Amino acid sequence: MDIGVDYYPEHWDRTDWEPHAKLMAEAGFRLVRLGEFAWSKMEPKEGRWEFGWLDEAIEVLRAQNIRVILGTPTATPPPWLAARHPDILNVGKDGRALEPGGRRHYCYTSPVYREYSRKIVTAMAGHYAEHPAVVGWQTDNEIGGPKCFCDACAKAFQDWLKTRYVTLEALNRAWGTIFWSQEWSDWSQIPLPRHSMHGPSILLDHQRFHSGQVLAYHQVQVDILRKSCPKQFVTHNCMGFYNEVDYWALAKSLDRVALDFYPGNLWGEGKFNCAGHDYTRSLKHQPWMVMEQRSGLTGWLEMFQAGDLPGQLRLWTYQTVAHGADAVVYFRWRTSRFGAEQYWHGVLDHHGVPGRRYRELSRVGAEFAALGDRFTGASYVAPVGIVLDPESRWALEIQKGHPKFDCLAHANLYHRAFTAHHAGVEYWHPADDFGGAKILVVPTAFLCDEALAKKLTAYAEAGGTVVLTFRSGVKDAANVVVNERLPGVLRSLAGCLVEEYDAPVGREPFVLALAAPLPKKPATATIWCDALTLTGAKALARYADGPFTGMPAATLHRVGKGQVVYVGFQGDAAFYGLLAKWLLADQGLASPFAPSDTVEITERVKGKERFLFVLNHAATESKLKMPAGKPWRDLLTGQKTGRTLTLTPYDVRILTPTVPA
């Protein structure tokens, strides 16, 4: 296990480098990411490579036993390149090119930009492939948007459509362009969709195209690094659930997935913030790393969020380890005095004198050094699966059905409920095998096909529990509504039909009457309401008011050795809590610890070793009742736990059984 920092030696005087490296080493930082925005310093003029300064910076770090991850600097094309080839610039919907001066202002399709990227990555790879201090590569930086609307992209989109549909007749049929008389008679007529009057089909294909262009651009870099640097790993710093790029596909090209983690009041903090960690790990179902974790007050020209409270930086570090990360790199070492990120604080403030944050992270450094490789390779225990299909997300983001419907937030209501009960969650792509998940939630399988329906049926028949929800089986791959009763291909598995549905915009939530095995407790439905007809399933919940009073709202269907729950509405937190509690108990997975919204408990295993991570996200003391019988030892303090564990604000415990299994 390692901690480290993102470091920009090019922002500091040469005389600062040694003292910086020494302070890093003293804090226990053993890993540094370098170079990911330094194109203009590595290639100040076209074809003039200057790696001497970077060699020197790496040597200074190496002298302190610090290893290096090099970033390819392609998120920031230098001004000379944009001036010479303005066609590399990203063009907005309004037809205007983004001006240089910031970052991410390039076009992924531009053959010229791909060529310049190829050249710099080749030069870097050639120079550093055998460097003993360089352990890995980060490609570009947070790759993704903005979408580009330049002429090259317009032509590439038409070519992409030609490959996908082969004939215009097939495309017109698939998209239903007879609607509003938009049957294309030549490929060159098809535009990049710029306004909201387009149908969902072209919009989904445009999103697929955009993601594909980003991936193709990215692959150029991966291919070079794989060929030239076989001893070094390749990673990319992803942004949690960001979905402009199909991260599942991106992850396939990487050795490991990295996350940029910026908890706080803007992007969420606390226990349930771990959903992004679970997603990051799930992209490869392997240990992962954090490439950027906030280490102070944040803000650009805008986007300010409150500073971390004492203890939170340490807590957030362990939260990632608790979810399977094996390295955490903090953003950034010393706060920049210039540029857009002057408020984005690092471990050190602008003045460079170590303070509270440095001391807090030094504590983590010392603890990590003592823990050694204890958790390296340990797997994360996750009996619950959530299937998250990037394409269904795209389609549901294009057309929500209800202005407040957010398919990701809906999926994560399930994550939250299971996590509150301390059950580990793994995300799965529909094409995956779902590992050993005992409970598999498949939220809004909007673009569900026969293959997924068959797989889910086999999974249930073999004894699995499947949870299906509203807006499933609704569309085909072209984002056109299916010509059958809902939930489409999933109806025999669900054992129910959608008789009628409503998106009750502006209405009060409907009251639900829950039925056994759910307890008769209050719960409500909102956002979307399917009124169901039973075709083999029994009702788990009925509407108790509103237009569908008396009709089934959720069902339970026994299938082979397993069962299928269909939830035809978006419920309140109480509903998901009751559902998760019942399902976990039903599967023998109930946690011995009381559910909590602030105390997080996760489990990792390595061979016969078990580790329980106990994290207190509350700003106050929390008491945890330990299960009877088994004594545990805290790896951080060496102490044995009693019947009650008293957790101080933002406390971290790593417990292991004193009696091995």
Binding mask 161-200 vs ligand GAL (x if CB under 6 A, - otherwise)? Answer: ----------------------------------------
Nearer to ligand GAL, 8 or 569 (CB): 8
Minimum CB separation from ligand GAL for residue 331, in Å?
Answer: 5
Minimum CB separation from ligand GAL for residue 343, in Å?
Answer: 9
Pick one of 149, 279, 344, 510: the residue that binds ligand GAL (CB under 6 A): 344
Calculate helix-pair angle for 356-371, 312-322, nearest 10 degrees.
30
Nearer to ligand GAL, 7 or 344 (CB): 344
Cα–Cα distance for residue pair 388/279, rounded to 1 Å: 9
Contacts of 487 (CB under 8 A, 6+ apart): 448, 468, 472, 473, 474, 494, 497, 498, 566
Active-site residue among 292, 360, 426, 600? Answer: 292
Amino acid at 127: H
Nearer to ligand GAL, 260 or 391 (CB): 260
Minimum CB separation from ligand GAL for residue 75, in Å?
Answer: 8
> For this structure, is 292 an active site residue?
yes
Pick one of 43, 140, 142, 326: the residue that binds ligand GAL (CB under 6 A): 142
Contacts of 333 (CB under 8 A, 6+ apart): 5, 6, 7, 8, 20, 24, 32, 346, 347, 348
- DSSP type of residue 305: B
Nearer to ligand GAL, 237 or 312 (CB): 237
Nearer to ligand GAL, 251 or 541 (CB): 251
Cα–Cα distance for residue pair 67/34, rounded to 1 Å: 10
Cα–Cα distance for residue pair 39/110, rounded to 1 Å: 18
Q: Is 244 in the site for ligand GAL (CB under 6 A)?
A: no
Question: Closest by alpha carbon to 188, among 158, 148, 152, 149?
Answer: 158
Minimum CB separation from ligand GAL for residue 208, in Å?
Answer: 25
Cα–Cα distance for residue pair 272/269, rounded to 1 Å: 7
Concatenated DSSP letters for 485-507?
STTGGGHHHHTEEEEEEE--TTP
Q: Is 341 in the site for ligand GAL (CB under 6 A)?
A: yes
Minimum CB separation from ligand GAL for residue 19, in Å?
Answer: 24
CB 490, CB 513: distance < 8 Å: no
- DSSP type of residue 609: E
Minimum CB separation from ligand GAL for residue 478, in Å?
Answer: 34
Minimum CB separation from ligand GAL for residue 89, in Å?
Answer: 20
Question: Closest by alpha carbon to 5, among 31, 25, 43?
Answer: 31
Minimum CB separation from ligand GAL for residue 258, in Å?
Answer: 10
Active-site residue among 36, 43, 142, 600? Answer: 142
Nearer to ligand GAL, 250 or 478 (CB): 250
Pick one of 109, 110, 141, 392: the residue that binds ligand GAL (CB under 6 A): 141
Nearer to ligand GAL, 346 or 365 (CB): 346
Look up residue 414 and give its two tokens: 């399930």
Output the 3-class SS for 372-417: CCCCCCCEECCCEEEECCHHHHHHHHHCCCCCCCCHHHHHHHHHHH
Task: Restricting to residues 250-279, name those near ligand GAL by CB under 6 A.
Answer: 260
Applying CB under 6 A, the site for ligand GAL has a residue count of 8
Q: Is 8 in the site for ligand GAL (CB under 6 A)?
A: no
CB 617, CB 271: distance < 8 Å: yes
Q: What are phi and psi of 76, to 5 degrees?
A: -130, 75
Task: Restricting to residues 468-507, name those near ligand GAL by CB under 6 A.
Answer: none
Binding mask 350-389 vs ligand GAL (x if CB under 6 A, - otherwise)? Answer: ----------------------------------------
Task: Restricting to residues 224-243, name those near ligand GAL by CB under 6 A.
Answer: 237
Q: Is 331 in the site for ligand GAL (CB under 6 A)?
A: yes
Cα–Cα distance for residue pair 81/315, rounded to 1 Å: 43
Q: Is 292 in the site for ligand GAL (CB under 6 A)?
A: yes
CB 237, CB 254: distance < 8 Å: no
Nearer to ligand GAL, 142 or 360 (CB): 142
> For this structure, is 461 an active site residue?
no
The contact set with ligand GAL (CB under 6 A) reads 141-142, 237, 260, 292, 331, 341, 344
Give the active site residues: 142, 292
